[in-house]
């Protein structure tokens, strides 16, 4: 899976779990989604879904707004953990 698939998965998860102030298809990948309606509870829901989807586990230090404030920042986190998982094999 490349980052395009991760991007689409993240967008789908957000669409299904969070009511944002504008449609997900109008949100730029670098746009701060926290100001569009995501809060700490919805972030945790998205993170939980990502962990389940990709069989990864976010470290507590990565559970902060800077790492999860945009679609691109979420992609970076997911890909970081996927790389770490592949290195362990």
Separation CA 50–CA 45 (nearest Å): 9
Q: Model-level pTM?
A: 0.88
Q: What is the mean pLDDT of residues 11-34?
A: 93
Question: What pLDDT does residue 66 have?
Answer: 87
Q: What fold, for 3-88?
A: 1.10.1200
What sign does the dihedral 42-67-83-60 (CA atoms) show? negative
Where do the domains of the chain lie?
3-88
Q: With contact defined as beta carbons under 8 Å apart, do 58 and 48 qualify?
A: no
Question: What pLDDT does residue 65 have?
Answer: 87
């Amino acid at each position: 899976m490349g980052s395009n698939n991760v991007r689409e998965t993240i967008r789908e998860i957000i669409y299904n779990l969070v009511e944002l102030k504008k449609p997900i298809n109008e949100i730029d990948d670098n746009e701060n989604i926290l100001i569009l309606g995501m809060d700490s509870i919805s972030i945790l829901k998205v993170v939980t879904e990502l962990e389940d989807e990709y069989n990864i586990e976010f470290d507590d230090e990565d559970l902060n707004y800077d790492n999860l404030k945009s679609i691109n920042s979420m992609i970076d986190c997911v890909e970081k953990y996927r790389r770490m998982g592949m290195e362990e094999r």
